Amino acid sequence: MASDDNSGISFSFSDSQQSFRLLELPPPLLELLSSDNPPTLSLKSAISPPTSTGASGPVSSNAVLCTGNQTFHLRQVHSSNSIFLVHPSVSQSVDGDRSSASSGLSVTATCKATLELSPANTSPLPYLKQHLQLYDGADDEFEASTGIPSSPANLDSVNKLDLFSNVPYSKGECERAWTDICAFEFNNVAMRPTARALAGAWKAILSGATSQALRLSSEFQLEDLWTIVEDDGYPRGLIEAVIHRLSFDGVVKDSACLDQTRCVRWVGTTFLESEVHSNAGVPVKQFLKEWQDKLPEEWQKYATVDVLEGSFSQPTATTILSNDGGSSLAVAGPAPTIPNTTVSKGFAGGRKWHDKFKAARR
């Protein structure tokens, strides 16, 4: 005998369909989100992509998903199968004087594509290079109205917080790139120093520390160092950025201690990149002697060509040329100048920054 009971599940479409995107999470990210302290996720995109690609390759201008220290590219993947997002529903049926309720499923959205995440293997450096103001040295002339170096007309002044908000990478990756290029803020404007500025700042640090018997290889106070180098005309933010770049674990509160390995390589690549020379390069023996003279005495013996592996080429067996393989962003050849700016060769005798700004405020 046939039964009148309907053992099936009712399946219907809701009158109002909602918009959804399904996000497929890679296992490491899913594990993080399932942990006791899940990270905050953010969606970011750049206002404008970099005009050129960096050494790490082109950077996508599409939206990305970021944790605190990792970036994932978003990719939409279409499917030939329909994916329904359903909610439980209850339907009423009336048969004569009898009414009954049955459980079922109601479709509230149809997803024809999913979003996949893939870890970004590029760097935020191209974005930072494009949007950071250039600082070329202690003798830069400054605009009286702003107290900052002149820059190309198409480069807007931006501070660090706003810059990071518009760079499609996680905050942690942006911070690492910021530290790597010794970027700094002055008057709420983010800047990046050229190789010549970095070389001059390091020269001021080393000569000042040597004259006052301040050992950079031991823990020292930043305030003590700043008191020594203040008259050399470099902004405090730049001096501290260089120290942070070369320290063991960055700057801890108000003290630091330079790491020998980081410092020896960085000084070598920076000074090689700051050299004004032709494509013929500079004599290796000359460069090694100058490099050693720019290091603390106890580290001079470590200044050998093999330390710079990946950051130079040799046009001949006796010459060496920077190929910008180091982590600083200066270019080989003549140091870049800033348009509408008068730049001196050296920094000795330059006026202090605060003296320049006093004149600007009058």
DSSP letters spanning 290-329 = HHHHTS-GGGGGG--GGGGTTSEE-SSTTEEEE-S-SSS-
pLDDT at 103: 80
Pairing of strands 189-193, 133-135: parallel
Residue 346: pLDDT over 50: no
- The 3-state DSSP class for residue 288 equals helix
Measured distance CA(342)–CA(45) in Å, rounded: 36
Return d(Cα 184, Cα 85) in angstroms, integer: 49
**Which of 215, 168, 159 has its CA nearest to residue 189?**
159
Which CA distances in Å does 334 have to 113, 131, 324, 330, 360? Answer: 51, 21, 13, 10, 30
pLDDT at residue 204, rounded to an integer? 96
Contacts 24+ apart (CB under 8 A), 351-354: 351/233, 352/230, 352/231, 352/233, 353/233, 353/234, 353/235
To the nearest 5 percent, what fractions of the chain are helix, strand and coil?
30, 25, 45
User: Phi first, then psi: what are they for 180, rounded to 5°?
Assistant: -65, -35
Q: State the average pLDDT over residues 316-321.
A: 90
Instruction: Give 353's pLDDT tier (boundaries 50, 70, 90).
Output: very low
pLDDT confidence of residue 278: 62
pLDDT, position 64: 92
Percentage of the chain with pLDDT > 70? 74
Would you state the pLDDT for residue 227?
A: 95
Handedness of CA 47, 52, 54, 56 (dihedral sign): positive
User: End-to-end alpha-carbon separation of the chain, Å?
Assistant: 104
Residue 350 has pLDDT above 60, yes or no: no
Q: Where are the alpha helices (DSSP H) in 79-124?
A: none
Q: What's the rounded mean pLDDT across residues 184-191?
A: 93
Please say whether the beta carbons of 306 and 271 come within 8 A: no
What does R_g of the chain's alpha carbons equal in angstroms? 29
- Confidence (pTM): 0.75
- pLDDT recorded at residue 21: 78
